[in-house]
Structure formats: structure tokens, C-alpha cells
Amino acid sequence: MKPKQFVLVGAIVSLLAGILNGQAPVQIHAASTTAIAGWQQMTSPSGTAIWVSPETRLTSADIERAEARTTPDAGPAVALVLTDAGAAKMDALSKERANEPIALILDGKVIWAPVVRGSIGKEARLTGGPGGLTQEQIQRLLDSFKR
């Protein structure tokens, strides 16, 4: 088997293993608070409508490491370190979506829809807003990022 084929087969096996274990991959998409033709209307964690691009821009495979953290300014959170390829994708997405939301989707639901306030590179912190994330949200995120 050629090296590229081996990597592709390995990625498919990892994805299927996650799905079979109930751990669908996290997906990150561009999003909007106003309707855009061809984008799917979903519900944000706050209960408001959000339109999500059909194009997946990043997945769990773009995440090198994730760990629970508590920060003084945001409370319980998940800290992410992206792969080099993931960091390049996130940088492009964050520049494109300046002052617009992006959607973090897990199990077909928007679990976080932050407004991008600046360029995001190699490291990111998922805080969930004021008060931080719940322990259940943190555990679901950490489980979904495992590869």
C-alpha cells in the first residue's frame, strides 16, 4: 500500500471508530446571524437562529491537543493546540469571518458560536461565554477531540 493510501485509510478508520464509539468529530463552519441562501438554519446555544455554511472548514483532525483549563477571566474552558495545517485553516477562517460568528458543531448541533474578534492561529480557547463551559460540555469536547 502506498503511503498516501495508508494515511487515508488510517483517517477513515479513526473517523469510523469515533462514530461507532458515539464520538462524532467536531466540525467548525462559517456562520451568520442573518439568512444566507444555501446555508442551514440552526439554533445557537443561546437559542437564537444562526445560519451555518455547508462547508466544514476544520475538524477534530485539525486539533493536535485539547485540555481542560480554568481561567480567571472566563472560568472553565477547553484549551486547543491546532496542527500546523489546522492553524493555517483557522487563521484563514478567522480573517474571513472578522466580527462574524463561526459555529462549532458536535453531533449535528451548534454547541458554540463565538464572534471572531481577531486572528486565531495555533492556539485557541473555547470558553462558552460568561461563566465558562459546564463540566458536561468540557467532557463532550475533550472526548470528541480524541483521536
Give the CATH number for residue 57: 3.30.1360.200
Asked if residue 13 is part of any domain, the answer here is no
- pLDDT of 34 reads 95
Bridge partner list, 59: 27
pLDDT in tens, 84-122: 999 999 999 999 999 999 998 988 999 878 888 788 888
Bridge partner list, 31: 52
Asked if residue 20 is part of any domain, the answer here is no
User: Alpha-carbon torsion 43, 77, 119, 99, what sign?
Assistant: positive
- As for how many domains the chain has, the answer is 1
pTM: predicted TM-score of the whole model, two decimal places: 0.71
pLDDT in tens, 134-147: 888 788 778 877 64
Amino acid symbol at 6 = F
How many CB atoms neighbour CB 93 within 10 A? 18
pLDDT greater at residue 117 or residue 67: 67
| 117: its cell numbers | 474578534
Asked if residue 4 is part of any domain, the answer here is no
Asked if residue 73 is part of any domain, the answer here is yes
Asked if residue 83 is part of any domain, the answer here is yes
Which residue range is the domain that position 48 belongs to? Answer: 25-145
- Is residue 11 predicted with pLDDT exceeding 60? no
**DSSP secondary structure letter of residue 68:** E
Asked if residue 8 is part of any domain, the answer here is no
Asked if residue 9 is part of any domain, the answer here is no
Asked if residue 107 is part of any domain, the answer here is yes
